[in-house]
């Protein structure tokens, strides 16, 4: 087949569809607390003895209901891991280079993926202490934390 | 949660990924013929002699690569039609289409068998459309190598009910 | 079909199906069905050896959604498979779970099908099944009036329209008995003449109420090896057989096509293999994937290998009702409830509930020994699943 | 278990950056034509192929029910076709189950992907993340790999220089693989000077965008004996999911791979992979994954990846003589391609890259962000 390339060509097209996603009661509780009170909520699974973030209705390991197991986490924490993003994609929250880090917030056992900014990416390090910088215009999104910056 | 009146967050967006679709040699030949020569080309299975519209790489029935191209149409007979009243999103833009519109399956002159060409009919009045009506492909002046180089099919006024071969 | 060992259905869970589930996200909705299936089987997550997951990505536009959904389906630390075949997905998941248990690789498999159609655009999503160079601008999801046109041509407009609407009314009567059903209208016989004329058309004679719903919902089922099933469940429904028949990429064959439908082809094969010579009498209940009342009406003839107008008469005489000759869709069917990735699984789940005598208000009157379920998807693809009250007798045979 | 199943034939298109001249149907048919030619099989109802397991992805294909595009090309008209929407190694595992279940005695697997079709592969994998908590941050599989790479390199003392050598070796091996569009040979210096993508992953340390199709015939013992004189037996399979949220996971811990490997090894009767497996094909779309998955597969000790690389581990254990994922494999076909390569080695049909005395091989596949789902397949001759 590959000897008949002369008839082949390429057509520009698109895959585009409208979507509406629902955060659900549990996710919405987290997002509205972030938006309205600048509070970061975690959830404690008593059975597993862990405090989780991002929010979830159920502990995936023991299936305990976590929908009401809210605890307030600190708004600062420590960089547990990070990568400096140097490539450009339309889905990026800001222009490269920028830092996506896993940030272990005070009071949480699982780190949260978020953006670290306000610092030269090359000086970000594991163990760096950071604090949340909230967006001025908050809309009920995880990006209501605009980014984390060195504490 | 006993918080009955809790606000529920919703995120609305159009998700879109630009694509470049390959025609391959078989569909490519077909689309180029529409663009350059205003010709509708079917291809045929060398074993069962079935016509494919649009042309296909492989005959589904014989599991064999399809071969020769044959010019068919541009006139034919309506085998089935759908008058669509429901406005669904255009997959290229995510925006709503204009309704109503009519899609037809046309058995083109020269096709032996039951493989029809699927396209638009320039008529949405149900009293004016019926199986067996003769129709003709209307080509766009500006052609790009797309199935929409055929603008639509027009009913041939006074056309007699054609016999499917 | 040859099988290495028997497989029983021992747990079934369905969310309530609805047009809107703003209260849960995708894994949370799935979890509801999983938790109910585990409860039904008297099991915990620890008892599950493998999770099978499926839906259609473009409905919610989540790539490899089984990754995110681990949070809800319980697959953390476990093996899992994701299979998708369009509308037939739910039935394919059943076939896959049967295969995985029968193979001996896993003793207990949890299968989960779901869709959150409210999160995307159903018709737009289906339209993208058409080739990007061919037909994507022509297709309108699964909406077509061609089935209606064919039935009308064969039996005349008046009788055909009445029969299709009667089919719809019977389905609604059944749905009213099913607490999980999404659309429950309370249609009555006397409304048929008005509905035939006045319900808004979508495409040709396919009208709004004829067409399946767009639902949010999930279905989970637990499949176990014969040993486990007998130990853990007093009344498993047993997998007898399944047949999957796909067909070519395009719909473009038209005009008194003599080609045998996938429905008739699959049924013929299934009945031959299982000694079914009189399906209307040997099969006790049928859960059909009826994407519209027109298709549902037309396919009764195909699935039961009938001729002439027998299928129309079955509807007209209510032989498909709860206490009829062959009850069809005691659940209310797909026209009532349609979370697409779960829909074909719900057919099997509902058939299994009938076999187990556990369907509650929509349990059919007669004893159910043999139940049939169908899936529909792709370009008129069919999956048929046959369930039995008694485990099949295994014999060495070539597939 | 009394039944057995074997790989009886392998076929693949050339894997290349941009198959602009072919539709997926054309790619698939190329594979199917080769498989039926080499086995003499057809699609008849009695002794033919009655079940096809396809591997493809609706988002990569920009097509709902991506397998419906393939029905004609894979011979599935009026037959059974089921699509595994995961890494292709899962399709091998599933096809094994189909044969062991007794339902079918011959299964054809055909996978395809055109990564070049969409604007970017990252835009596709971005959509694997949940819409509220991980998409807005900008995550995609490359970014997730960047996070995992840092965690792993810290833990196992793997240096960028060592990863550069992994890339040099991959390209050297790939040059002997006629099924791959060639990538230019590189020096370690050039790898380390290639543009940074997701620190510490540089461009040459990540698999290039690749198009291709690949397939296998898997059959019961009885049929396998008829179809080939070199059956490759599938003697072990295992797979395992990790958690979804990256923060819930020990990214450097190899939890799911260890578990997947344990099941596959147990089934195949392997107690010590380092001594009992003759050859390994693992899915390493990123260079750090070669030593990391080697640890997970038990080829070296936990945390010993750096030392393993320094001691020439990849050559000693005969890992990725094909060039591996880094040499260019569509991501969802990674594991299927590794299985196919291992099968070729066991059949003695690996050409210039053929290793001697290969009796048992392990093949590995990954799906999801930072290897969330891991698959291991054991093959023997």
| pLDDT of C399 above 80 | no
Chain D residue whose CA is closest to A60? D243
Mutate to test the interface with A, among B6, B7, B41, B88 (most CBs of A within 10 A): B7
Query: What pLDDT digit, counting tens, does each position of D155-199 carry?
Result: 999 999 999 999 999 999 999 999 999 999 999 999 999 999 999
Q: Which residues of B touch D (CB under 8 A)?
A: 9, 11, 15, 17-27, 56-61, 63, 65
Determine the 3-state secondary structure of A79 from DSSP: strand
Q: Which two tokens stand for residue C276?
A: 């079914």
CA distance A125 to A99: 11
Residues 6 or more apart whose CB falls under 8 angstroms from that of A4 comprise B25
User: Residue holding tokens 């039926």?
Assistant: D36
Q: D205 near D286, Cβ under 8 Å?
A: yes
Distance from A88 to chain D by nearest Cα, in Å? 9
Distance from C178 to chain A by nearest Cα, in Å? 25
Q: A141 near A21, Cβ under 8 Å?
A: no
Rg (CA), chain A: 20
Chain B residue whose CA is closest to C143? B84
Contacts of B15 in chain C (CB under 8 A): 61
Q: Which two tokens stand for residue C94?
A: 């059943």
The band of C56, judged by pLDDT with boundaries at 50, 70 and 90, is very high
Mutate to test the interface with B, among D23, D65, D117, D212 (most CBs of B within 10 A): D23
Size of interface B-D (CB pairs under 8 A): 65
Contacts of B9 in chain D (CB under 8 A): 132
| pLDDT of B159 above 70 | no
How confident is the model over D100-124, as a mean pLDDT? Answer: 97
Provide the whole-model pTM.
Answer: 0.96
CA distance C64 to C66: 5
Distance from A55 to chain C by nearest Cα, in Å? 11
How confident is the model over C373-381, as a mean pLDDT? Answer: 95
The band of A3, judged by pLDDT with boundaries at 50, 70 and 90, is very low
How confident is the model over D263-291, as a mean pLDDT? Answer: 98
Whether B18 and D25 lie within 8 Å, measured CB to CB: no
Contacts of D3 in chain C (CB under 8 A): 4
Fold entry, domain C7-122+214-232: Peroxisomal Thiolase; Chain A, domain 1 (3.40.47)
Cis peptide before A54 (omega within 30 of 0): yes
Determine the 3-state secondary structure of A56 from DSSP: coil
How confident is the model over C216-220, as a mean pLDDT? Answer: 97
Kindly report the average pLDDT of chain B as a whole number. Answer: 89
How confident is the model over D214-232, as a mean pLDDT? Answer: 97
Q: B104 near B130, Cβ under 8 Å?
A: no
Determine the 3-state secondary structure of C325 from DSSP: coil
Distance from A49 to chain D by nearest Cα, in Å? 13
Contacts of B60 in chain D (CB under 8 A): 71-72, 77
Q: Which two tokens stand for residue A57?
A: 């209705």
How confident is the model over D295-300, as a mean pLDDT? Answer: 98
Q: Which CATH superfamily, name and number, covers C141-211+239-388?
A: Thiolase/Chalcone synthase (3.40.47.10)
Chain A residue whose CA is closest to D134? A113
The band of C9, judged by pLDDT with boundaries at 50, 70 and 90, is very high
Query: What pLDDT digit, counting tens, does each position of A91-115 carry?
Result: 999 999 999 999 999 999 999 999 9
- Residues of chain C with pLDDT > 70, as a percent, come to 97
Which phi and psi angles does C92 have, rounded to 5°? Answer: -60, -40
**Range with the largest mean pLDDT of B109-118, C210-219, C347-356:** C347-356
User: Residue holding tokens 């190598």?
Assistant: B145
Instruction: Give me the pLDDT at residue C141, please.
Output: 78
Instruction: Give me the pLDDT at residue C255, please.
Output: 53
CA distance A145 to A133: 6
Query: What pLDDT digit, counting tens, does each position of C166-211 carry?
Result: 999 999 999 999 999 999 999 999 999 999 999 999 988 999 999 9
Distance from B69 to chain A by nearest Cα, in Å? 13
Distance from A26 to chain B by nearest Cα, in Å? 8
The band of B162, judged by pLDDT with boundaries at 50, 70 and 90, is very low
| pLDDT of C45 above 80 | yes
Pinpoint the residues of chain C covered by CATH 3.40.47.10: 7-122+214-232, 141-211+239-388
Whether A13 and B29 lie within 8 Å, measured CB to CB: no
| pLDDT of B19 above 60 | yes
D252-D253-D259 Cα angle (round to 5)? 140
How confident is the model over C216-230, as a mean pLDDT? Answer: 97
Among B92-96, B121-125, C221-225, D57-61, the minimum mean pLDDT is found in B92-96
CA distance D336 to D365: 7
Distance from B39 to chain D by nearest Cα, in Å? 22
Whether A60 and C72 lie within 8 Å, measured CB to CB: yes
Kindly report the average pLDDT of chain C as a whole number. Answer: 94
Contacts of C61 in chain D (CB under 8 A): 59, 127
| pLDDT of C27 above 90 | yes
User: Residue holding tokens 């389906």?
Assistant: C73
The band of A22, judged by pLDDT with boundaries at 50, 70 and 90, is very high
Judge whether D39 is closer than 8 Å to chain B, CB to CB.
no
| pLDDT of D323 above 80 | yes
Among C137-146, D23-32, D289-298, the minimum mean pLDDT is found in C137-146
Whether B21 and D26 lie within 8 Å, measured CB to CB: no
Of the candidates D58, D94, D243, the beta carbon closest to that of C76 is on: D243
Mutate to test the interface with C, among B10, B19, B85, B151 (most CBs of C within 10 A): B85
Whether A89 and D246 lie within 8 Å, measured CB to CB: no
The band of A2, judged by pLDDT with boundaries at 50, 70 and 90, is very low
Q: A106 near A130, Cβ under 8 Å?
A: no
**Range with the largest mean pLDDT of B148-162, C128-142, C373-387:** C373-387
With b for 16 or more beta-carbon neighbours within 10 A and e for fewer, the A98-114 pattern comes to bbbbbbbbeebbbbbbb
Chain A residue whose CA is closest to C60? A19
Which residue segments constitute the domains of chain D, with CATH numbers given?
5-119+209-227 (3.40.47.10)
Whether D198 and A93 lie within 8 Å, measured CB to CB: no
Q: Burial level of C134, CB count in 10 A (0-12/13-18/19+)?
A: buried
Residues 6 or more apart whose CB falls under 8 angstroms from that of B53 comprise B40, B42, B72, B108, B111, B115, B116, B117, C252
The band of B7, judged by pLDDT with boundaries at 50, 70 and 90, is very high
Instruction: Give me the pLDDT at residue D205, please.
Output: 98
Of the candidates B23, B85, B164, the beta carbon closest to that of C255 is on: B164
């Amino acid at each position: 087949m590959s000897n008949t390339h002369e008839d082949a060509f390429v057509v520009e097209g698109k895959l585009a569809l409208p979507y509406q996603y629902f955060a659900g009661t549990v996710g919405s509780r987290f997002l509205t607390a972030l938006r309205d009170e600048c509070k970061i909520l975690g959830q404690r699974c008593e059975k597993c003895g862990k405090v989780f973030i991002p929010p979830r209705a159920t502990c995936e390991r023991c299936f305990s209901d976590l929908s009401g197991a809210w605890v307030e986490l600190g708004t600062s924490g420590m960089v547990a891991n990070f990568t400096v993003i140097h490539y450009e994609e339309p889905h990026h929250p800001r222009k490269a280079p920028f830092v996506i880090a896993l940030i272990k917030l005070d009071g949480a056992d699982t780190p949260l993926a978020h953006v670290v900014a306000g610092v030269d990416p090359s000086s970000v390090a594991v163990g760096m202490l950071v604090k949340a910088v909230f967006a001025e215009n908050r809309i009920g999104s995880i990006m209501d934390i605009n980014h984390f910056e060195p504490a | 949660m006993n918080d009955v009146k809790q606000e529920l967050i919703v995120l609305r967006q159009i998700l879109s990924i630009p694509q470049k679709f390959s025609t391959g040699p078989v569909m490519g030949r077909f689309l180029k013929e529409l663009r350059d020569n205003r010709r509708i080309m079917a291809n045929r299975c060398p074993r069962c002699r079935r016509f494919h519209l649009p042309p296909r790489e492989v005959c589904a029935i014989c599991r064999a690569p399809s071969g020769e191209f044959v010019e068919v149409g541009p006139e034919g007979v309506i085998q089935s039609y759908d008058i669509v009243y429901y406005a669904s999103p255009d997959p290229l833009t995510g925006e709503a289409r204009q309704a109503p519109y009519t899609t037809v399956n046309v058995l083109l002159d020269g096709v032996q068998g039951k493989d029809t060409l699927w396209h638009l009919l320039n008529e949405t009045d149900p009293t004016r459309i019926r199986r067996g009506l003769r129709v003709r492909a209307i080509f766009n002046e500006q052609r790009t190598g797309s199935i929409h180089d055929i603008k639509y099919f027009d009913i041939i006024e006074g056309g007699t009910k054609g016999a499917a071969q | 079909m040859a099988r290495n060992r028997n497989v029983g259905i021992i747990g079934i869970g369905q969310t309530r199906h609805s047009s809107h589930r703003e209260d849960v996200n995708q894994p949370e909705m799935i979890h509801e069905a999983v938790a109910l299936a585990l409860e039904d089987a008297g099991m915990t997550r620890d008892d599950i050896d493998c999770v099978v997951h499926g839906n259609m990505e473009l409905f919610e536009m989540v790539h490899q959604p089984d990754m995110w959904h681990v949070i809800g389906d319980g697959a953390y630390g476990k093996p899992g498979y994701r299979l998708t075949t369009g509308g037939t997905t739910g039935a394919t998941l059943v076939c896959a779970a049967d295969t995985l248990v029968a193979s001996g690789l896993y003793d207990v498999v949890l299968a989960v099908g779901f869709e959150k159609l409210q999160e995307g655009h159903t018709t737009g999503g289906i339209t993208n099944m058409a080739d990007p160079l061919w037909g994507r601008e022509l297709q309108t999801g699964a909406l077509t009036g061609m089935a209606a046109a064919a039935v009308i041509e064969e039996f005349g407009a008046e009788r055909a329209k009445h029969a299709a609407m009667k089919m719809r009314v019977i389905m609604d009567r059944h749905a009213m008995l099913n607490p999980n059903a999404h659309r429950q209208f309370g249609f009555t016989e006397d409304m048929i003449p008005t509905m035939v004329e006045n319900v808004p058309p979508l495409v040709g004679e396919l009208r709004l109420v004829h067409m399946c719903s767009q639902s949010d919902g999930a279905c989970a089922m637990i499949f176990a090896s014969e040993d486990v099933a007998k130990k853990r469940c007093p009344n498993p429904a047993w997998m007898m057989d399944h047949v999957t028949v796909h067909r070519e990429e395009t719909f473009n064959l038209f005009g008194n096509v003599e080609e045998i439908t996938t429905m008739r082809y699959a049924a013929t094969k299934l009945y031959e293999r299982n000694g079914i010579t009189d399906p209307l009498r040997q099969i006790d209940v049928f859960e059909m994937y009826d994407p519209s009342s027109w298709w549902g009406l037309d396919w009764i003839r195909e699935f039961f290998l009938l001729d002439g107008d027998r299928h129309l008469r079955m509807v007209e005489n209510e032989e498909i009702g709860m206490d009829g000759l062959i009850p069809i869709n005691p659940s209310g069917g797909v026209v009532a409830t349609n979370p697409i990735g779960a829909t074909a699984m719900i057919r099997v789940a509902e058939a299994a509930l009938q076999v187990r005598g556990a369907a509650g208000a929509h349990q059919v009157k007669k004893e159910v020994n043999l139940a049939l379920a169908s899936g529909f998807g792709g370009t008129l693809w069919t999956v048929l699943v046959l369930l039995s009250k008694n485990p099949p007798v295994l014999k060495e045979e070539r597939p | 278990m009394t039944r057995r199943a074997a790989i009886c034939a392998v076929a693949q298109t050339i894997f290349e950056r941009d198959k602009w001249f072919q539709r997926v149907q054309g790619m698939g048919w190329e594979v199917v034509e080769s498989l039926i030619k080499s086995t003499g099989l057809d699609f008849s109802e009695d002794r033919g192929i009655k079940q096809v397991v396809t591997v493809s992805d609706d988002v990569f294909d920009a097509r709902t029910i991506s397998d419906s595009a393939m029905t004609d090309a894979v011979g599935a008209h009026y037959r059974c076709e089921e699509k595994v929407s995961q890494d292709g190694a899962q399709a091998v595992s599933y096809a094994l189950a189909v044969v062991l279940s007794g339902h079918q005695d011959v299964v054809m697997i055909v996978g395809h992907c055109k990564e070049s079709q969409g604007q970017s592969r990252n835009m596709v994998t971005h959509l694997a993340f949940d819409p509220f908590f991980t998409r807005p941050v900008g995550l995609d599989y490359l970014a997730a790999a960047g996070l995992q790479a840092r965690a792993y390199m810290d833990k196992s003392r793997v240096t960028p220089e060592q990863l550069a050598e992994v890339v040099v070796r991959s390209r050297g091996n790939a040059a002997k693989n006629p099924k791959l569009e060639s990538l230019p040979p590189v020096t370690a210096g050039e790898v380390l000077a290639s543009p940074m993508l997701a620190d510490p992953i540089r461009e040459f340390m990540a698999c290039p965008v690749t198009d291709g199709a690949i397939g296998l015939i898997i059959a019961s013992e009885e049929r396998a004996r008829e179809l080939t004189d070199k059956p490759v037996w599938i003697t072990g399979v295992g797979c395992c999911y990790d958690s979804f949220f990256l923060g819930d996971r020990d990214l450097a811990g190899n939890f799911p791979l260890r578990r997947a490997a344990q099941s596959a090894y147990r089934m195949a009767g392997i107690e010590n992979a380092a001594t009992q497996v003759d050859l390994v094909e693992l899915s390493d779309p990123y260079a750090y994954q070669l030593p990391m998955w080697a640890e997970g597969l038990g080829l070296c000790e936990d945390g010993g990846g750096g030392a393993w690389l320094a001691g020439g581990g990849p050559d000693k254990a005969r890992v990725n003589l094909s060039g591996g994922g880094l040499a260019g494999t569509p991501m969802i076909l990674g594991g299927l391609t590794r299985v196919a390569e291992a099968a070729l080695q066991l059949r003695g049909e690996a050409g210039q890259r053929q290793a001697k005395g290969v009796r048992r091989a392990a093949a590995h596949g990954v799906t999801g962000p930072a290897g969330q789902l891991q698959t291991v397949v054991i093959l023997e001759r």
